[in-house]
Amino acid sequence: MLSYQHIYHAGNLADVHKHALLAWMLTYLTRKDKPISYIETHAGRGLYDLSSDAARKTGEAAQGIEAVSGWFAADHPLAQVLADLHRAHDATSYPGSPLIAGKLLRATDRMHLAEMHPTEHAALRQAMRGYPAKCYQQDGFALAHALTPPTPRRGLMLIDPSYEIKDDYAQIPKHIARITRAWNVGTICVWYPLLTSQLHAPMLDALIAKYPDALRHEVRFPPARPGHGMIGSGLFVINPPYGVSHAATQLGTLFGTLGHPPQTRC
């Protein structure tokens, strides 16, 4: 049984990076009238309480969204999702990626969410009630292969593993190659940590070699604790929606105020 639980990390700077760009990508994709598919291979529980003991224990949200919420103007799609959520729940609630998608998608869009952990999966089902979402308690990559190409054919897949299984770094480029063979028009977005150990580097090299036109956006930030190995967050986006590289550049500038220059390539 995997032990990772995202509540310890919810709302940290990596979440802020991933969720701010996800919100922009969904905003751009839903500007056209046509419906889209949204698929998540590693969904988490969808809704987090940042005042919980688990969230407070690491203090990552305090260094993350609680410190930088002022970065986002009221019309930023992540700010709109947060405001909407805080009206419905209390001000210490924080949306996971499925709930961000749920709030930005339309009734005609389709969502497919995989979450393996039984407790997280049960919480996800609860959080997604009222949204056009199907929640699956199964391996996210198996679901991704079973669903691609999805109907509707336009859309986005978020791949956001915890990398608790170190083999994920080797397997992800193979999974993505199979997914893009089946679904060459889909936006495929992979999150990865920037690690002092450089464990992520061979995976990234493989993705860059295979998808030279993809958008790669990385931000750096101070480690959550002294000696912590994660020093930044990366998103690799195949078929990025039009406009997202501009949003990425703006986000990079904001992260740059933390003292490390951002890196964008597309």
Residues near ligand SAM (CB under 6 A): 2, 4, 6, 15, 18, 42-44, 96-97, 114-117, 120, 139-140, 160-162
Smallest gap from Cβ 136 to ligand SAM, in A, equals 8
Smallest gap from Cβ 140 to ligand SAM, in A, equals 4
Q: How many Å apart are CA 6 and CA 88, to the nearest integer?
A: 22
**Residue 15 falls in the annotated catalytic set:** no
- Based on the number of CB atoms within 10 Å of its own CB, is 235 exposed (0-12), middle (13-18) or buried (19 or more)? buried
Q: Are 96 and 43 in contact (CB under 8 A)?
A: yes
C-beta of 29 vs 99, nearer to ligand SAM: 99
Smallest gap from Cβ 7 to ligand SAM, in A, equals 9
C-beta of 143 vs 248, nearer to ligand SAM: 143
C-beta of 4 vs 239, nearer to ligand SAM: 4
Helix locations, 148-259, DSSP H: 168-182, 201-210, 244-256
C-beta of 109 vs 160, nearer to ligand SAM: 160
Smallest gap from Cβ 48 to ligand SAM, in A, equals 8
Catalytic residue, candidates 15, 49, 160, 168 = 160
Whole-Å CA distances, 41 to 21, 83, 149:
17, 26, 15
Query: With the CA atoms of 54, 55, 57 and 60 taken in that order, what torsion angle do they form, in degrees rounded to the nearest 10?
Result: 150
Q: Are 17 and 64 in contact (CB under 8 A)?
A: no
What does DSSP assign to residue 128?
A: T
The conformational region for residue 130 under phi > 0 = left, psi -120 to 50 = alpha, else beta, is left
What is the set of active-site residues?
160
